[in-house]
Amino acid sequence: MPSADKKPRTLYDKVFRDHVVNESQDGTVLLYIDRHLVHEVTSPQAFEGLRNARRQVRRPDCTLATTDHNVPTTPRKNFKNVGQFVEEADSRLQCLTLEENVKAFGLTYFGLGDKRQGIVHIIGPEQGFTLPGTTVVCGDSHTSTHGAFGALAFGIGTSEVEHVLATQTLITKRSKNMRIQVDGGLTPGVSSKDIILHVIGIIGTAGGTGAVIEFCGSAIRGLSMEARMSICNMSIEAGARAGMIAPDETTFRYLRGRPLAPVVDTPEWKKAVKYWTSLKSDEGASYDEEVFINAKDIVPTVSWGTSPQDVVPITGVVPDPETFETEAKKESAQRALEYMGLTPGTRMEDIELDKVFIGSCTNARIEDLRAAASIVEGKRVAVNLKRAMVVPGSGLVKKQAEAEGLDRIFQDAGFEWREAGCSMCLGMNPDILSPKERCASTSNRNFEGRQGAGGRTHLMSPVMAAAAAIVGKLADVRSLTDQNAVPAKASPKVDVTPEVSDIESDDDLDRILDLPEGSQSHDGSNTAGSSGGQTKFTVLKGIAASMERSNVDTDAIIPKQFLKTIKRTGLGSALFHSLRYHDEGGEKVDFVLNKEPYRHAKILIVTGPNFGCGSSREHAPWALLDFGITCIIAPSFADIFFNNTFKNGMLPVAIPDQPTLERIAEEARAGREIEVDLVNQRINNASGAKLAAFEVEEFRKHCLVNGLDDIGLTMQMGDKIKGFEDRRTLDTPWLDGSGYLKKDKRKGPVQVEAAPVPQTNRGEQIDEPLDW
């Protein structure tokens, strides 16, 4: 709740401050988590951890689970159960494991037989589970999506999933504040996906590292909630911890009537709206970084390379690596072009495609499908395409699209119309690209092998993907539509003079509370633990392997096919899989970890920045650990990866000074051992002479040196957490889950058999079978 303190604060500062359970002198914060989304890939090991420690889920009423990554998107007409439906054994095991866990721990679950199932980041907002001013986490990097509501939403690793399940809190630190202001009107054919691709093109995939980005400005204000979600979704591709947009009338209108939002026109709704309206940055709040963009400069944008920052206007050409500033950038562009099978100077519009994918948590909401359908209506998919598919983000999006006849439009044009899931966004399910196949995709990552080993991804907006499907090549949507008008359904609602107003008085609030439905679619008792538990890290001496790469993503550290395990161990042989092995099998002799003495490396030195970017998969540190590497030294790290390493008794050391890092790398290249002394925060050569000093947060060091399990430590703060929860119940009663769980006076919230919610988020009755 707003405090009397007058220091101007940002939106992020406010939401963060409202969730502090405890703050230590070194700035380590125990943060309360309001909403926890769970999926099958990043939760099995967390539930196993709970079982091993005999812990319960603290707040089942604030936890919502679904299955999305592994699920086939084939028709579910004959669906009986997951065991029969999911053919691939590892995928099946992961889905079944989630089902066992949600039953055992009493969680609400939308399984494959439930129309509310879908991609975790689509269903949270759709259900009203995601609310302004909340903290939202999920073992998934695109949790940033939920920031569109003015929530502080971020991805976490599996150890942190376990921590939240057990304690409903996380141990964290304050992030920096970054503001990206986009002003003016968007030109025809340009959508929110183009805004975010443009932004990432400017600030780069490490541009937001360590920061929470607040998106603001008239262009952002003019966007619908769904369009805002696409922007916040990809803040992680900009390296940020989270993305946020201040809630406004558009937000409140979207939330009206959602099953888990406060009921409209009740005192609770009024109280909630009043609080939500206070969630905006104060006049004069300061930011560590600011970027200003004129919306007029944004054109339909596509990616050419293997990083989301590799973007150009569709009217542009494939860039020449020689024009890049540094040797490292030249090399990485060269490598990207080789992988993508592209030649510098080729017009983007001349690039022929094999497949088109419209889907993913970035762009598989109803407005995305409407926009794409408006482009393909009455046309045919180009004959050169092997496949064009539309994968709605949830069962409810699918149902709504069918009610509007969008499925027919797509199918008549030659698209496949599929069931909800992550599908070809990352290919953990049967929807994948074959090697060298080129795909126009509305997803968010174009990393090597992302959509299938050897597959080539071009990122773009739904209307651009639709245009590409019709032309058979990357295409400018503007050439398929009236140049002077935004096609009726082709772009999210854009309002150059947005209807944003400050709420200064009770009259203003009343006006907001009276908002009509509007034109927007309505889509839609813990065992106290003791701390003890992990391997201690004090001094590590050993062989170090050196890699000369930048932006090494977690997909490269451990590709998706290895995420199907339900264990933490056994991933070492798959570490850096595509860098380490040939497609046909057999080791690549040049790769450092295939050479002696580096096969026995205990330390990894990476000379380029932003190691571990992309996905939140804790499988990345698990694979390094299983290989034998417990310390990684690099100029900088992506936030989630950095956190995940500590949770596994590993030490990431940031050495931003390039000459110092080079000195350490030289020792490694010479095959000499190095020594990482955490206690004294020094890196030494084999004979003990100092090569570098390094920084490490006090609390993290304390846990590593003493081998402490932070869940156990947090549980010792049970009283403080309980106190916070009591206050939360008074201040924001709508956050105690009531939608799917009933409360028992003695036991607190307990799970009940899921009865059909009275209404879907679009107002119709649900009559489909529910899982339980």
- Residue ranges in contact with ligand IPM by CB under 6 A: 41-42, 69, 140-142, 155, 426, 563, 615-617
Residue bearing tokens 């569709």: 314
Q: If binding is defined by CB under 6 A, does position 422 make contact with ligand SF4?
A: yes
CA distances (Å), origin 7, targets 2, 20, 692: 12, 18, 39
Q: From 420-428, 591-599, 633-641, 685-693, give the range in contact with ligand SF4 by CB under 6 A.
A: 420-428
For residue 426, state whether it binds ligand SF4 (rule: CB under 6 A): yes
Alpha helices of 204-262 — where are they, by DSSP H?
A: 218-221, 225-233, 249-255
Residue 360 near which of ligand SF4, ligand IPM, none (CB within 5-8 Å, type-dependent): ligand SF4
Which of 456, 453, 455, 669 shows the shortest CA–CA distance to 577? 453
Q: How far is the CB of 336 from ligand IPM (least distance, A)?
A: 19
Q: Which is nearer to ligand IPM, 537 or 611 (CB)?
A: 611
Q: Does 444 bind ligand SF4 (CB under 6 A)?
A: yes
**Contact range with ligand SF4 by CB under 6 A, out of 123-131, 421-429, 498-506, 702-710:** 421-429
361 binds ligand SF4 (CB under 6 A): yes
**236 binds ligand SF4 per the rule CB under 6 A:** no
d(CA 223, CA 132): 17
Is 196 a binding residue for ligand SF4 by CB under 6 A? The answer is: no
Residues in binding contact with ligand SF4, number by CB under 6 A: 12
Q: Which does 617 bind (CB under 5 to 8 A by kind): ligand SF4, ligand IPM, none?
A: ligand IPM
Amino acid at site 768: E
**How far is Cα 630 from Cα 153, in angstroms, rounded to an integer?**
29
Please identify which residue in 255, 298, 373, 425 interacts with ligand SF4, judged by CB under 6 A. 425
**Least distance (Å) between residue 110 CB and ligand SF4:** 15
Residue 273 binds what, of ligand IPM, ligand SF4, none (CB under 5 to 8 Å, by partner type)? Answer: none
- In this chain, which of 112, 119, 195, 381 binds ligand SF4, going by CB under 6 A? 119
| CB closer to ligand SF4, 361 vs 385 | 361
- For ligand SF4, the closer of residues 73 and 135 by Cβ is 73
Compute the distance between CA of residue 240 and CA of residue 610 in angstroms, rounded to an integer.
Answer: 11
Of 44 and 649, nearer to ligand SF4 (C-beta) is 44
| Residue found by looking up tokens 């339900």 in the block | 566
- Give the number of C-alpha atoms closer than 13 A to the C-alpha of residue 208, restricted to the C-beta side: 33
Q: Exposed, middle or buried by CB within 10 Å (0-12, 13-18, 19+), for 274? A: middle
As given in the structure block, the two tokens for residue 361 are: 């948590």
CB 321 within 8 A of CB 334: yes
232 lies in the binding site for ligand SF4 (CB under 6 A): no
Rounded to a whole number of angstroms, the minimum distance from the CB of residue 123 to ligand SF4 is 11
CB 475 within 8 A of CB 196: no
Helix axes 120-127, 225-233, angle to 10 degrees: 140
Q: Is the dihedral of CA 745, 748, 749, 750 positive or negative?
A: negative
Cβ 716 to ligand SF4 shortest distance, Å: 34
Closer to ligand SF4 by Cβ: residue 101 or 443: 443
Closest distance to ligand SF4 from the beta carbon of 33 (Å): 19
Please list, residue by residue across 151-160, b when 16 or more beta carbons sit within 10 angstroms of its beta carbon and e when fewer do: bbbbbbbbbb
What distance in Å separates the CA atoms of residue 70 and residue 40, rounded to the nearest whole number? 8
User: Is 231 near ligand SF4 (CB under 6 A)?
Assistant: no
- Cα–Cα–Cα angle for 503, 509, 515, rounded to 5 degrees: 115
Q: How far is the CB of 612 from ligand IPM (least distance, A)?
A: 12
* CB closer to ligand SF4, 68 vs 771: 68
Q: Is 226 in the site for ligand SF4 (CB under 6 A)?
A: no
Select from ligand SF4, ligand IPM, none the partner in contact with residue 119, using the beta carbon and a kind-dependent cut-off of 5 to 8 Å: ligand SF4
- Name the minimum Å distance from CB 40 to ligand IPM: 9
* 95 contact choice in ligand IPM, ligand SF4, none (CB below 5 to 8 Å, kind-dependent): none
Give every CB contact of residue 345 below 8 A, 6+ residues apart in sequence: 317, 318, 320
- Collapsed DSSP state (helix, strand, coil) of residue 196: helix
CB of 69 to ligand SF4, least distance (A): 6
Q: Between residue 43 and residue 72, which ones bind ligand SF4 under the rule CB under 6 A?
A: 68-69
Q: Which is nearer to ligand IPM, 461 or 615 (CB)?
A: 615
Partner whose binding site includes residue 214, from ligand IPM, ligand SF4, none (CB under 5 to 8 Å by kind): none
Site for ligand SF4 in 648-687 (CB under 6 A): none
Burial class (CB in 10 A: 0-12, 13-18, 19+), 499: exposed
Near ligand SF4 in 122-161, by CB under 6 A: 140, 142
Q: 457 vs 491, which CB is nearer to ligand SF4?
A: 457
Rounded to a whole number of angstroms, the minimum distance from the CB of residue 753 to ligand SF4 is: 28
In whole angstroms, the minimum distance from the beta carbon of 39 to ligand IPM comes to 7
Nearer to ligand IPM, 119 or 299 (CB): 119
Q: CB-wise, 69 or 399, nearer to ligand SF4? A: 69
- Which of ligand SF4, ligand IPM, none is residue 636 near (CB under 5 to 8 Å by kind)? none
Using alpha carbons, select from 611, 504, 624 the residue that is nearest to residue 573.
624
Residue written as token pair 């999210």? 492
State the Cα–Cα distance between residues 581 and 449, nearest whole angstrom. 13
Tell me how far, at minimum, the Cβ of 42 lies from ligand IPM, in Å: 5
For residue 47, give every residue at least 6 positions away whose Cβ sits within 8 Å of its Cβ, in sequence order, or none: 97, 101, 104, 105, 162, 165
Q: Tell me the three state secondary structure of residue 105.
A: helix
Helix, strand, coil distribution of the chain in percent, nearest 5: 35, 15, 50
**CB 642 → ligand SF4: shortest distance, Å?**
20
Contact with ligand SF4 (CB under 6 A): which of 192, 251, 306, 360?
360
Residue 5: other Cβ atoms inside 10 A: 8
Q: How many CA atoms lie within 13 A of 554 on its CB side?
A: 30
**Among residues 401 and 661, whose Cβ is nearest to ligand SF4?**
401
> Which residues of the shown chain bind ligand SF4 in the complex (CB under 6 A)?
68-69, 119, 140, 142, 360-361, 422, 425-426, 443-444
